[in-house]
Amino acid sequence: MTMERREFLKVIGAAGAGAGLFGCSTQGPERLLPYMIAPEDVIPGVATWFRTTCRECPAGCGMEIRTREGRAVKAEGNPLSPIGHGRLCARGQASLHGLYNPDRIPQALARAGEDWEPISWDEAEQRLVAALQQAGGRTVFLTSGQSGTMDRLLDEWTAAFGIERVRFDAFALEPVRAANRLLFGQDVLPSHDFSNAEVVVSFGADFLETWLSPVDYAHGFTRAHAFANGRRGRFVWVGPHQSLTGLNADDWLPARPGTEHLVALAMARVVADQGGQAGPAAAFLRQVDVGAYAEQAGVPEERIRQIARAFANGGRSLAVGPGVSSSSRAATALAAAVALLNYVAGNIGRTVRLDRPELGSGGSYQAVRDLFARMSRGEIGALLVYGPNPLYSVPLGDDAAAALERVPFIASFNTFLDETSTRAHLLLPDHHFLESWGDYVPRPGVYSLVQPVMNPVFQTKQTGDVLLSVARRAGVALPTAAATFYDYLRETWQRDVFPRVGPLPEPPAGSAAAMEAAAAQALQSPFENWWRRALQLGVVTAEAPAPAAPPQLSAAALAQLDFSVPEFRGGEGAEYHLIVYPSYRFYDGQLANRPWLQELPDPISKLSWTSWVEVNPETAERLGLVEGSIAEVETPNGRAELLVWPHPGIRPDTIAIQLGQGHEALGRYAQNRGVNAARLLAPEVEQPSGGLVWQQARATLRNTGRWQRPPESGNATQAGREIARAMTLEEARRAEPVSLAATLAPDRAEAAHGAEPAAGHGEAAGHPMEAVVQELQGVGGFGPAIVPAGPQDYPPPGTHYGEYTATQPRWAMAIDLERCIGCSACVTACYAENNIGIVGPDQIRQGRILHWIRIERYFYGHERHGEDAAHTAEAGEYTPVRFIPMLCQHCGNAPCEPVCPVYAAYHTPDGLNGQVYNRCVGTRYCANNCPYKVRYFNWYTWEWPEPLNWQLNPDVTVREKGVMEKCTFCVQRIRDAQHRARLEGRSVPDGEIVPACAQTCPAEAIVFGNIKDPNSRVARIAASGRGYRVLEGLNTQPGIVYLQQVLPEGVEA
Amino acid sequence: MQRAKWALPAIGVIAILAGTGFVAQGGWPFGGTPEQPIAFPHDVHAGTLQIPCMYCHYTADRSPDAGIPSVQTCAGCHLAGGQPIVGANRPGVQQLAQYWQRGVPIPWVRIHDLPDHAHFPHMMHVNAGIQCQECHGPVETMREVQQVASLQMGWCINCHQERNVRIDCFVCHY
């Protein structure tokens, strides 16, 4: 902390936590720096929240940022946002690592030979003006897809300067736009209502990861899909490779790469025959030969027919696609086939809303490829870059870098020195979005505000302000007179949004906001009052446009599309189709320098900090490859060596590589790590959409004979321990006759009160482990006799737990495995909330990863009683994968506690399993004795390079070397809520305490509360007949109740 | 080399004294009373002038941190237009004016310092009716503030036990 940052009071506790001081010694006098003038709305030591909008991907989820003493410390979702529903994905959680990233461009820089020279903003703007005047009309402004006011400013600014604007995003889904343009005359990316889709078929669209609006879709998907009221949705994944989204499917149709559109057409034909509304497409569909198409796709015809019959359910189904992983040379044909399928099934206007499109990304690959061609011909005088990094994210040919060299002047507004920006002459780093003013319109009528939550970390300047200032300096007149982007934003909102949205919901009576508003009412203009309220809400919505009549389908356009099966090109002996697919963690790769995201194990492979090639286990066996083998992948365009990771969810004739790694620039965490799969592709444009052909190549796969221990966490099998359990649909109907929906979602109230659990849990009697436990007890094993009790019966009869009194709550958690999609947002949220160290790949290889909550991913779920039925997916099978969030179970009879020689692991009166860092001497006995393996040891004192340490949560101790740590159920949040309740003279209502993991879960899988209160949500959910406790045969009396996953209809447990 | 032979045990003795709280009992952990950037007399402000503690330490009843007054709080009484008016001839007030004019916060030296693994919520104690003096001593009589309580865990626990407040570790250590 430097003296210039005097606005930030160095307060008791806060600064100390940041400094990482630990123990009773003090290393010199500590200084207390007061504010010069205390800000009115900040109470030192108490969090201040700001609402803004996440800009890590084009979805635009609403955000709430927790700040302490002027620093953002935690990102959460804005519950008012219809896009994020108060939740965030892992990328949104990790946005703070973008804000505080030590590799951000700290100030305006100008190229000086090989190096960069710091210049003032004044000078930087002058240089930009001079360069623009010199280049004249031969300037191009390359921007990512923008929205709202910034988009308007860019348009006005480029028009005023006579500059061409080119939009580009790597995942722009051009084929979806193109198909809707051709078929319906609407060039849009439709929004999708997953919450009303009982049958979902995805043709390679990873809608739980990166596709359009993943948090909204995950939220809606689990609501419609998870078991409730005796019913369960159905989700079918079509494509050669299962990503995280694919592995959540109930059926997998592993179509040959490039044949997904045939499956869609075959389904459309069956739906039409079932009485679907083929309309103008009837003649076209009559030519579809279901049998022949199934044959070509390599999928059993009967399965297609069966799924299609379920799909024809009167507008409560949804087909989505293509995503990047199914964008072959037939991508537009696939998008058209999917649109046709939705049309025939009557989904357009119901689950598919063309009239309410997603903003999505903008531009096209074709445009940026043309731009690079013009650059290499020397036609571009100056290039401005704002957002994208095309040199990294897409293949542009071997001469792409040389093309940039031919541009006399390149200026970049990007926040990182990425591959494209390193070739610039002038760097004008933008603020991070958490430091910026702005707005975002993710869907029509949804206006989400972006407001600064803290002062800028670096000497950066918001690009909107730079553009306005440059226009002034150059004497170019803009349609606005605004001096700053903030003024421009307000002007736009006053003119456009204010009249359209109308009155906003009032703040709750008696609240500070209400009093402030009342006081201000008379003094300020109506817009000023409205604007202040809008900033408090973070997002305002206008009346949703009335649903338009379903658009007319153009049969002529359909007939003109080429539905033939595209080829995958490869050289001699190239046997394997290469699938490249987007990374859930890094999106298009621009997020690869966030250490949390690098550290976060990939939801499927559980690998971190690296790239890998996914190979079917059969193929791997044939080539003598095992996990960690180094294989060489070669396509006509490139060659790469990668770790092998055998994946049961991929066809034997296909291999897959995730995008997002392999950076040559960007920063210390991303550089020279893994492989950029885009380098293996040719710069080929798909027609007629103008998108990139992502799936184009066949590759050779060669075993190098070398092996390296992968930086991996977790196991593929449960080894017969029944950790993640599942039951059949029939069993679930008997076990949970009454819906739990009401307990999970207060806004979908449904009376679940008084539900009698059909079958209590605590199946200790007859449990397979019982004999083992009894044997252990004979030789001094755990605790007293097995008691058939739930966590609410804490403490177990006959036991004695310290100061415990019956008046204390017992904190407990219920986790519904039926809802968990394995996305790992909770893991990232936990990193952020609890100051968890980043250990890096070498330590992970040694099994030293720190994550208080981890997602276990078990592949062979079909085992029973120790029998591993190695289940490789056959064509048309369900891939048996189970996700289970594993964290400290806060056992009532915890094995870790009695073995601690210094009483550092102990039980609190409110049922938490406490870990007292200042007592801990690091014997690690507790971790050894923990059957859940959820205790983590600090082998080193981990470092957070400045300013990453600014993010550290001042409410949580920063641990150092030699200390054991683990999940605390976010005790700092429990204490905070208890303190507030005590001061306000009330009790803590159910739902006020929300741990970080439960807060962010897009699938609403985690519920926390006091299980001794029979009306609490957690108690009501835990009473479900699907409930069980992991390894309860050990009599650990866990405080976490899991609800069993429900298997798809027809799958045997 | 000769010197090193007796230096080692001497260091040991000092370490033991420190470990038993000898140093901490003496007040400020570094011995004596630290020199503050401005010799602020609490006895005048809180004693003679009877300014309530929470006039300056304004967040003690609503935040874990008691809060230290902003420079503006000092300036509000002492300065007008950046020039000293109250106690204008006192060196401390002249220093204050300099800090204010330069826009630099006063780098107070911290006296009461808990280790970072101990969470002490001021507001819970203030609202429970604990007087500031019970932990901080008779500040209103102190020319220079000294630490009077040891602030060690036993001292905390004693008070919690006397008042029948929870004493399990996870109340403060997390």
Give one DSSP letter per residue of A728-744, joined into a string: -HHHHHHH--S--HHHH
Portion 294-313 of A in contact with B at CB < 8 A:
none
Q: Are B71 and B99 in contact, with CB atoms under 8 Å apart?
A: yes
Over residues A384-409, the pLDDT tens digits come to 999 999 999 999 999 999 999 999 99
| Cβ-nearest to A909 among B69, B121, B168 | B168
Q: Can you tell me whether residue A353 is helix, strand or coil?
A: strand
- The pLDDT value recorded for residue A752 is 31
Which residues, other chains included, contact A235 with Cβ-Cβ below 8 Å and sequence gap of 6+?
A: A199, A200, A201, A202, A221, A225, A248, A249, A250, A251
* Both tokens assigned to A780: 């001094």
Q: Are A127 and A110 in contact, with CB atoms under 8 Å apart?
A: yes
Chain A contact set for B68 (CB, 8 A): 9, 11, 32, 34
For all residues of chain A together, what is the average pLDDT? Answer: 88
Percent of chain A with pLDDT over 90: 77
- The pLDDT value recorded for residue A741 is 57
Q: How far is CA A870 from the centre of its chain?
A: 30
Cα A885 to Cα A249: distance, rounded to the nearest angstrom: 19
Q: Can you tell me whether residue A679 is helix, strand or coil?
A: helix
Give one DSSP letter per residue of A850-916, joined into a string: --SSEEEEES-TT-BTTB----PPPTT-----EEEEE-----TT-TTTTT-TTS-EEE-TTS-EEE-
Nearest partner of A850 among A962, A916, A949, A938, judged by Cα: A938
The model's confidence at residue A790, banded by pLDDT at 50, 70 and 90, is low
ipTM score of complex: 0.86
Q: Are A652 and A619 in contact, with CB atoms under 8 Å apart?
A: yes
Q: What is the pTM of this model?
A: 0.91
Give one DSSP letter per residue of A415-428, joined into a string: SB--TTGGG-SEE-
Cα A861 to Cα A726: distance, rounded to the nearest angstrom: 8
A355 membership: H or E segment, kind and range: strand A352-358
Contact of B127 with chain A, judged by CB distance below 8 Å, is answered with yes
Q: Are A259 and A565 in contact, with CB atoms under 8 Å apart?
A: yes
Chain A contact set for B117 (CB, 8 A): 22, 917-918, 957
Over residues A551-583, the pLDDT tens digits come to 899 999 999 999 999 999 998 889 999 999 999
Helix locations, A13-89, DSSP H? 14-19
Contact of B166 with chain A, judged by CB distance below 8 Å, is answered with yes
- The pLDDT value recorded for residue A539 is 96
Q: Are A30 and B107 in contact, with CB atoms under 8 Å apart?
A: no
Cα A641 to Cα A1006: distance, rounded to the nearest angstrom: 39
Contact of A34 with chain B, judged by CB distance below 8 Å, is answered with yes
* Both tokens assigned to A1038: 């866990």
Q: CA dihedral in degrees (B95, B101, B102, B103; nearest 10)?
A: 110
Cα A738 to Cα A222: distance, rounded to the nearest angstrom: 18
Portion 929-958 of A in contact with B at CB < 8 A:
955-958
Strand-by-strand arrangement of the A62-68 sheet = A48-53, A62-68, A71-77
Strands annotated E in A651-789: 654-658, 698-707, 726-727
Cα A985 to Cα A980: distance, rounded to the nearest angstrom: 8
Tell me the backbone φ, ψ of residue A1049, rounded to 5 degrees: -55, 135
For residue A956, give how far its alpha carbon lies from the nearest alpha carbon of chain B (Å): 6
Instruction: Count interface pairs A-B at CB distance under 8 A.
Output: 148
Q: How large is the average pLDDT for residues A64-79? A: 95
Which residues, other chains included, contact A915 with Cβ-Cβ below 8 Å and sequence gap of 6+?
A: A904, A905, A926, A935, A964, A965, A966, A968
**Which residue type does B86 have?**
V
Cα A619 to Cα A889: distance, rounded to the nearest angstrom: 39
User: Comparing A309-313, A445-449, A720-724, A1025-1029, which segment has the lowest mean pLDDT?
Assistant: A720-724
Q: Are A1033 and A764 in contact, with CB atoms under 8 Å apart?
A: yes
Distances (CA, A) of A91 to A208, A510, A643, B82: 12, 36, 24, 48
Percent of chain A with pLDDT over 70: 88
Residue with tokens 């700001």: A50
- The pLDDT value recorded for residue B3 is 43
For residue A984, give how far its alpha carbon lies from the nearest alpha carbon of chain B (Å): 10
Task: State how beta strands A199-202 and A234-238 pair.
Answer: parallel
Cα A112 to Cα B127: distance, rounded to the nearest angstrom: 61
Tell me the backbone φ, ψ of residue A251, rounded to 5 degrees: -130, 145
Nearest partner of B107 among B3, B5, B19, B37, judged by Cα: B37
Over residues A800-825, the pLDDT tens digits come to 555 455 678 889 999 999 999 999 99
Portion 6-45 of B in contact with A at CB < 8 A:
29-30, 34
Q: Is residue A911 predicted with pLDDT exceeding 90?
A: no
Q: Is residue A344 predicted with pLDDT exceeding 80?
A: yes
Over residues A206-235, the pLDDT tens digits come to 999 999 999 999 999 999 999 998 899 999
Over residues A592-623, the pLDDT tens digits come to 999 999 999 999 999 999 999 999 999 999 99
The model's confidence at residue A28, banded by pLDDT at 50, 70 and 90, is low
Contact of A975 with chain B, judged by CB distance below 8 Å, is answered with yes
The model's confidence at residue A970, banded by pLDDT at 50, 70 and 90, is very high
